[in-house]
Each structure stands twice: as C-alpha cells, then as structure tokens.
C-alpha cells in the first residue's frame, strides 16, 4: 500500500509479480537486481524451498530518485506461484499498488495462466480491489523457447486468453535473457504512479 | 517417428529443467507409449531402459519437493523484515495494530517462536490484549503444544490481565478451535481488526459479467457419460450463453435436453476458467442460413 510522506515529499509503493508457478517471476526480479544496480536499494531477499521455488516471497527495494519533485521508492515482490501456497500468495498481495502478471508462453501451461489470473481476481476482490481498475501489465514470458523448437503459444492466442477483457498493456519477454523485463516494469511503474496521482495528487504541478 | 520421439524428449528435458515436473512426466509417458507400441525401432529395449531411468530421476525430484520443509528457520534479520513489510497500519497512528499485523505475518509464515515473542509484548498493550491472547493460544496449538496453550488460558482465567468479558470470549474461541483442530491444514491466524484494514483498502466494487468464449461440459449421464466435450460459445447475453450444435451430433443433442442440469462445466473466459454449473434453458433448430438444420442451444449459467 502506497505510503506518502508529503512533508518530506516521499512516496513508497508496492508492485507485485503474480502468475502461475515456474512462469519466471523470480527470474524477472533477479534480472532487475543485476541490471538496475544503481536503483536497487539494498539486497534482494528470497525465501525459497526445494528446487528454487518461491516459498514465501522475493523482495527487492528500489529507489527511483526524484519524479515530479517527489522521492519515489518502490518495493517489488513476487508471490509463490505454486497452487498450494494460496494463503501466502494472498498475504503477499496485500496492499498492492500495481501488478505485473507474468504468463508462461509454454503451451502446456495455458490453463495454469488462466487459473492464476482468476486466483488473482479473487484475491484482489477479497481486498476490495477490482482487477479491471488496478494498474496492471501482462508479460508473456519465455518467448526465447521458440528458438529451441519448444511449443509455445502465439502472442495473439495469449492476448485472447488473458487480455481480451482486461485490455492492459502487454509485452513479450524472456526473463532469463532480460528481454522485456525493463519495459514491463517501467510501464507498470508509470501506470501505478499515475493512478496514485489521481487518488492522492502527490505530484508537484 | 524417431524425430517425434526426439522432440518429445527435448520437451520433457526442458520442462524438467524448469521444474515443470508434471508436464515432463506426461511427455516421458507419451514417449514410452510410442516406443512400446512400435515394432520398427531397432534398440527398443535399450530405449525403454533409458527412459525408465529418467522417469525414476523425475520421481525423485517430485519426492524431494513434496517433503521439503514448508516453514524454514529464518534469520532474525528476515523476521524483522517480515514484520516491517507486512504491517499495514500506520506506525504513528496505530502502533498497536501495526505491531499486531507484523506479528500475525510472522505466524502466517510459520515463524511461531518469533511471533509468540511479539504477541507476548502486545499483551501489555491494552487495545491489543485480547487479539494477542487469542494468537498466543493459536501459536501454541500450531506448534502442537496443547498443554502450554491450556496452561496459558487457565492462567488468564485466574488472573486479572483480562476483564471477564474478554475471558469469556477467549474461552469460547479456544474451545472452538480445539473442536475444529485437525480439520484445517493451513495455519489460520486471527486477523488484525478488520475494520481499519478494509476502510483503507475498500474501493467501490463493480460486478461485470464476464465474456465466456467456450465451455467444456462433463456429463454424468447419457451417451456421453464421463466424457468432457468442448464447445464454442457463439453468443452471450448476460448469464445466458448460446452454443451451436451440429445436427450430426445426435448423441450430444440427446444429452442436452431442455431442463438438464449440468453440474460440471468449465466456462472459459478471457480472465480465467471458471468451474460452475448451468441449466439447458432452450434448444431450437436453426431454420435458415449457413447453419440450417443445426441446433442453437442456450445454457443459463447458474453458478461460477
Ligand atoms: N527459457 C526460459 N526459461 C525461463 C524464463 N524465465 C524463467 N525461466 C525458467 O523457468 C524456471 C522457473 O523460473 P522462476 O523465476 O523460478 O519462476 P517463478 O515464477 O518464480 O516460480 P515460483 O516461485 O514457483 O512461483 C527456471 O528454471 C527459470 O530459469 C525465460 O524467459 N526463458
Ligand atoms: Mg519464484
């Protein structure tokens, strides 16, 4: 949940990477940690279990510097995607300001993407938030696997599956290579800060 | 065929490397069937042996994952971080509630020892006393220590930390969880006062009926009993969806008589797949146009 300190002109907001298990949320964060060293404020904390699966969350604090006269801080989180960690997932989502939904392009994960989006919708609803209104971006991850001849879904199909009603910005990506990771985050930040501006009018005119 | 096998094996290896173990297993199984069913492959037995080694390794992965601990011991530093990251009330305006939320987060993440320390401190904060006491009992129970929980409750019942109304509430609460114990798998921890949280986060809600693009119906009787049939939705008006069924598909028409309840339907929407139930509300034969002779079937969505 965004925290404002209007006197000191500081904002802190929370962005959560959501998506089915193994879709590449943690890999997104790891890339950001490496590639945006200057903006990273401290360490990345990951709480994992066997096989590098996220057990609780990953956490990466960032400091974006001054935007419209305000010091902007961002907390990036990933949720555990595996189905059985539903209560933790919900807890990590609490207080979210913007969402990056990472979808797995592998054909075998088609249904899992949709189920995870439904799970997100339900969890947001339980917090009194509407999936159609919260700042959100889609990332179609693992596009690189096409080069290895793996069966992945065409972007159009994923748009139809996941974005026909949401109509949010979407980006292809390859988190292992870092492709699309930056723009996804930037677009999400842009939307999140814009939405917070509408709600709280923080920017200096 | 060997090309197909090779491609399937590559897929299986990749899925395994990404931790998609179920998907990997499915592909291995498929390869196994292909090899077993073929009589042209020269080194069939060798291939099968190699494959079963791979499947064994995969099963070991699955096992390791299943028996991995779900509540690791975390450093004090991480515990502090969790308390900070998951307390949502303002520390300045409502320090007690903020601390309670942090402690609850610790408990939810299975860090019962750390959580207990925090809850014990919160017993000294008047406004949080009852919640703290409830959570202390919960923590002990989650740690499998009914004895300590009961002792604590008895101590509070005799002492004067809590007023009699609070003691009554606490006793009812405790009896209640003892009764439910063994039924719930995940640790459930008393929420911090819900009102403050929801007031802050509540925005207006809006119900929108989702577009359904396709359905998959599993039948529990009739010619299609036990099978799942996928059909595209051609038209939707609110909670009624229309499907076209080819006149050739007599068995399906037979199965979908007006008034039939469909208890196991997957509704595919762009947002997600919903499991729910529907009722066949109309069936009309199309009289003209390219679909002449086919049937238009209406299903009323009863629950999603
Ligand atoms: N080829 C390819 N592999 C990827 C990509 N992104 C992630 N992976 C791989 O997918 C696997 C899972 O990645 P994670 O980042 O751990 O996935 P996650 O979404 O955090 O998974 P959970 O924590 O279980 O929810 C790892 O083996 C990654 O290397 C990608 O863009 N391309
Ligand atoms: Mg992860």
The predicted-structure confidence for A38-67, as pLDDT tens digits, reads as follows 999 989 999 888 888 999 999 999 999 988
CA A71/CA A62 separation, integer angstroms: 11
Tokens for B65, please give them: 């994952």
If phi over 0 gives left and psi between -120 and 50 gives alpha, with beta otherwise, what is residue A141?
Answer: beta
CA B11/CA B15 separation, integer angstroms: 6
Which residues in chain B have Cβ-Cβ distances shorter than 8 Å to A150? 10-11, 14
Q: Same domain for B224 and B293?
A: yes
CATH number at residue B236: 2.40.10.220
Residue B36 has pLDDT above 50, yes or no: yes
Q: Same domain for B58 and B166?
A: no
CA B203/CA B50 separation, integer angstroms: 58
Contact B272 A114 (CB under 8 A): yes
> Are B131 and B100 in contact, with CB atoms under 8 Å apart?
yes
Q: Which residue of A has its CA nearest to B78?
A: A45
Measuring from atom 2 of ligand 1, which residue has the nearest CA?
Answer: A142
CA B234/CA B291 separation, integer angstroms: 12
Q: Is residue B13 part of a domain?
A: yes
Residue B188 has pLDDT above 50, yes or no: no
ipTM given for this complex:
0.91
CA B191/CA B100 separation, integer angstroms: 9
> Are A1 and B88 in contact, with CB atoms under 8 Å apart?
yes
Residue B183 has pLDDT above 50, yes or no: no
> Are B119 and B105 in contact, with CB atoms under 8 Å apart?
no
B177 confidence band (pLDDT: 50, 70, 90)? confident
CA A74/CA A134 separation, integer angstroms: 16
DSSP states of B187-253: ---PPS-HHHHHHHH-------PPP--EEEEE-SSSTTTT-EEEEEEEEEETTEEEEEE-TT-HHHH
Q: Same domain for B161 and B121?
A: yes
Per residue in B55-77, pLDDT (tens digit) is: 999 999 999 888 887 777 788 88
Residue B52 domain boundaries: 2-67
- Return the exposure string of B54-93: e unless at least 16 CB atoms fall within 10 Å of the residue's CB, then b: bbeebeebeeeeeeeeeeeebeeebbebbbebbbbbeeee
User: β-strands A10-18, A70-78: how paired?
Assistant: parallel
Residue B105 has pLDDT above 50, yes or no: yes
Q: State pTM to two decimals.
A: 0.76
Tokens for A126, please give them: 């339980």
Q: Same domain for B140 and B231?
A: no
CA B143/CA B136 separation, integer angstroms: 11
Which residues in chain A have Cβ-Cβ distances shorter than 8 Å to B108? 87-88, 91
> Are B5 and B35 in contact, with CB atoms under 8 Å apart?
yes
Q: Same domain for B143 and B39?
A: no
Q: Same domain for B82 and B183?
A: yes
Q: Is residue B206 part of a domain?
A: no
The domain limits of chain A are 3-200
Residue B18 has pLDDT above 70, yes or no: yes
CA A138/CA A117 separation, integer angstroms: 10
CA B170/CA B150 separation, integer angstroms: 11
Q: How far is the CA of B134 from the centre of ligand 2 (A)?
A: 33
CATH number at residue B156: 1.25.40.10
Q: Which CATH architecture has domain A3-200?
A: 3-Layer(aba) Sandwich (3.40)
Q: Is A78 in the pocket of ligand 1 (CB under 6 A)?
A: yes
Whether A150 and chain B come into contact, CB under 8 Å, resolves to: yes
Structurally, how many domains does chain B consist of? 3
Among candidate residues B46, B67, B88, the one where a domain is terminated:
B67
- Return the exposure string of B237-267: e unless at least 16 CB atoms fall within 10 Å of the residue's CB, then b: eeeebbbebeeebeebbebbeeebebeebbb
SS3 B130: helix
Low-confidence stretches of chain A (pLDDT beneath 70): 1, 6-7, 202-205
Q: Same domain for B86 and B188?
A: yes
Q: Same domain for B222 and B252?
A: yes
CA A63/CA A39 separation, integer angstroms: 5
Of A172-176, B89-93, B241-245, B287-291, the range with the highest mean pLDDT is A172-176
User: β-strands B228-237, B240-245: how paired?
Assistant: antiparallel
Q: Same domain for B224 and B161?
A: no
pLDDT of residue A202: 67
pLDDT of residue B40: 80
**A4, A7, A49, best to mutate vs chain B, most B CBs in 10 Å:** A49
CA A107/CA A154 separation, integer angstroms: 9
Q: Is A52 in the pocket of ligand 1 (CB under 6 A)?
A: yes
CA B294/CA B290 separation, integer angstroms: 9
């Amino acid at each position: 949940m965004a925290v404002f300190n209007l006197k000191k002109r500081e904002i802190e907001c929370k962005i959560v990477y959501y998506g089915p298990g193994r879709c590449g949320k943690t890999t997104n964060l790891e890339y950001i940690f490496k590639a945006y060293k200057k903006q990273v404020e401290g360490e990345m904390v990951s709480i994992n279990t066997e096989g590098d699966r996220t057990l609780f969350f990953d956490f990466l604090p960032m400091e974006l510097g001054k935007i419209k006269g305000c010091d902007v801080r961002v907390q990036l989180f990933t949720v555990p995607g595996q189905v059985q960690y539903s209560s933790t997932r919900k807890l990590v989502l609490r207080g979210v300001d913007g969402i990056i939904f990472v979808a797995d392009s592998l054909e075998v994960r088609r249904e899992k993407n949709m189920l995870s989006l439904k799970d997100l919708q339900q969890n947001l609803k339980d917090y009194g938030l509407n999936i159609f209104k919260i700042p959100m971006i889609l990332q179609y991850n693992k596009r690189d696997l096409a080069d290895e001849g793996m069966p992945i879904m065409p972007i159009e199909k994923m748009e139809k599956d996941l974005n026909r009603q949401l109509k949010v910005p979407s980006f292809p990506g390859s988190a292992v290579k870092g492709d699309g990771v930056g723009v996804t985050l930037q677009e999400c930040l842009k939307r999140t800060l814009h939405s917070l501006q509408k709600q709280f009018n923080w920017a200096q005119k | 065929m060997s090309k197909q096998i090779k491609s399937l094996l590559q897929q299986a290896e990749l899925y395994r490397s990404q931790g998609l173990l179920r998907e990997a297993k499915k592909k291995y199984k498929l390869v196994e069937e292909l090899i077993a069913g073929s009589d042209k492959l020269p080194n069939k037995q060798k291939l099968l042996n190699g494959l079963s080694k791979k499947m064994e390794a995969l099963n070991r992965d699955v096992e390791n994952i299943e028996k991995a601990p779900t509540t690791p011991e975390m450093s004090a530093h991480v515990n502090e971080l969790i308390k900070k990251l998951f307390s949502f009330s303002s520390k300045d305006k409502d320090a007690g509630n903020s601390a309670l939320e942090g402690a609850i987060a610790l408990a939810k993440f299975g860090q019962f020892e750390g959580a207990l320390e925090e809850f014990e401190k919160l017993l000294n904060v008047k406004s949080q006393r009852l919640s703290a006491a409830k959570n202390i009992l919960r923590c002990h129970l989650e740690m499998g220590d009914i004895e300590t929980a009961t002792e604590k409750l008895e101590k509070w019942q005799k002492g004067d930390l809590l007023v009699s109304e609070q003691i009554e509430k606490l006793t009812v609460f405790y009896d209640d969880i003892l009764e439910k114990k063994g039924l719930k798998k995940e640790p459930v921890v008393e929420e911090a006062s819900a009102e403050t949280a929801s007031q802050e986060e509540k925005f207006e809600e809006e119900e929108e009926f989702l577009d359904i693009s396709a359905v998959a119906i599993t039948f529990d009787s009739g010619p299609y009993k036990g099978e799942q049939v996928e059909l595209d939705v051609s038209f939707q008006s609110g909670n009624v969806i229309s499907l076209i069924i080819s006149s050739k598909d007599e068995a399906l028409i037979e199965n979908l008589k007006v008034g039939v309840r469909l208890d196991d339907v997957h509704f595919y929407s762009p947002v997600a797949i919903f499991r729910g139930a529907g009722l066949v509300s109309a069936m009309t034969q199309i009289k003209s146009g390219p679909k002449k002779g086919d049937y238009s079937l209406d299903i009323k969505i009863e629950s999603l």
